[in-house]
Structure 1
Amino acid sequence: MADLTPQQRVSFERFKVWKHRPKSKATASVPSPQEVFAEMMKATFGPLLRDQGLRGSGGRFELPSDDYWALLGFQKSAYSDGQEVQFTVNLSAIRRDVWAERAAASPALGERPKPTVVYGSWATQTRLGLITPEGSDKWWPIVRGVDPGPVAEDVVSDLLKYGLPWLREQITKRR
């Protein structure tokens, strides 16, 4: 552990706290946070994004564009468990010609970008919370037994006010 950088040490300590947290038995009558998240995706976020012209499902959506990969992806935290799921929204606008060039040079990139992967300075990417007036990374919690309605409302509001306009602005920029 002596070889860890200060940043790695903080991450390691956070992981230890998470790993050894008190765990309680879930009651069968209360849906798990994962089930609530899946239902929010299916009943709220997916239909909203498709109504706004995006295609996709399962937390990955694309705004159709001839020139750009305009992507929106939901990302769950690695620290989620049976009591809580935290998630954020990633946005990417990557020129198709730039992607093709990069992918040809590095075939491991694949045929198309993923909205939850950070590619580097050549790709325009952000998290939804960073483009809100607060300007900070934002992770929404779904906690077992707590009404998820306010979380869904906040996500929908941020998507409509900031996320979708940001994506649309990126794909209308001059090349």
Structure 2
Amino acid sequence: MASGAELSAQGWFRLMVQSRLAPGLRGYGFIGSGHTFRASIDGYYAQVTLQQANAASTSYVRFTADLSVVRRNEWDEQLRVRPYYGSRPQPSAPGWSARIGELISVGGFPIGEMWWELDAGRPFESLADEVVSAVRWYGLPAMMEQIASARRGH
């Protein structure tokens, strides 16, 4: 493998995901690799997808976390009918979805858009820990509430 100084921003991002984000998310029951991680909870899929901003920069990557909850049998049926969807729910998939910034509040107000920036060649441990913490403290509770609400029939 190339040294960190030789990796592009995309390569550095992949390294951060493989070495820090994926293990951190797996610690909370998610499986997956690349940009998509999913947990099976009470008949639902709770999913975290790392979404990159479209940027031509080779020196940094901007990214956020998209969260979704889909009933397993509905998603499995969609895959049966539309196998080209792969492992990612599409915008038309039934269920709930939100960006992580919609779930984080400051002073009682959601911050809205939240993007992290990873600079190629810079240490990323604290950045990765921040992303995993945001999923743990804001994403997981929101996903669990959506699952509980759906099970109650609301």
TM-score by length of 2: 0.76
Deviation beyond 6 Å, 4+ runs, structure 1? none
Query: Quick check: 1:119 aligned with 2:92?
Result: yes
Q: Whose radius of gyration is greater, 1 or 2?
A: 1
Structure 2 gap segments, 5+ residues each? none
Q: Which residue of 1 aligns with 2:31?
A: 55
SS of the residue 1:29 aligns to? helix
CA contact (8 A) 2:52 2:64 kept: yes
SS of the residue 1:160 aligns to? helix
CA contact (8 A) 1:69 1:113 kept: no
Aligned length: 144
Deviation, 1:37, is 1.1
Deviation, 1:58, is 1.2
Deviation, 1:153, is 3.3
- Give the whole-Å Cα distance in 2 for the aligned partners of 1:111 and 1:82: 29
Q: Which residue among 130, 136, 155 is the counterpart of 2:102?
A: 130
Query: Quick check: 1:77 aligned with 2:53?
Result: yes
SS of the residue 1:36 aligns to? helix
Deviation, 1:43, is 1.2
Q: Comparing both structures, which one devotes a greater share of its residues to strand?
A: 2
CA contact (8 A) 2:25 2:132 kept: no
Higher relative contact order (CA 8 A, sep 6+): 2
- Considering only aligned residues, what root-mean-square deviation do their CA atoms show, in Å? 2.8
- Structure 1 residues 159 and 66, CA gap change in structure 2 (3 angstroms): closer
Q: Which residue of 1 aligns with 2:44?
A: 68
- Give the whole-Å Cα distance in 1 for the aligned partners of 2:143 and 2:115: 19
- Structure 1 residues 146 and 113, CA gap change in structure 2 (3 angstroms): closer
Give the aligned residue type for 1:167: M
Deviation, 1:149, is 4.0
Deviation, 1:48, is 0.9
**Identical counterparts, % of pairs:** 30
Q: Which residue of 1 aligns with 2:69?
A: 93
Q: Which residue among 144, 160, 164 is the counterpart of 2:136?
A: 160
Give the aligned residue type for 1:127: R
CA contact (8 A) 2:20 2:125 kept: no
- Structure 1 residues 40 and 53, CA gap change in structure 2 (3 angstroms): same
CA contact (8 A) 1:55 1:64 kept: no
Q: Which residue of 2 aligns with 1:10?
A: none
Deviation, 1:47, is 0.5
CA contact (8 A) 1:80 1:86 kept: no
- Give the whole-Å Cα distance in 2 for the aligned partners of 1:111 and 1:144: 31
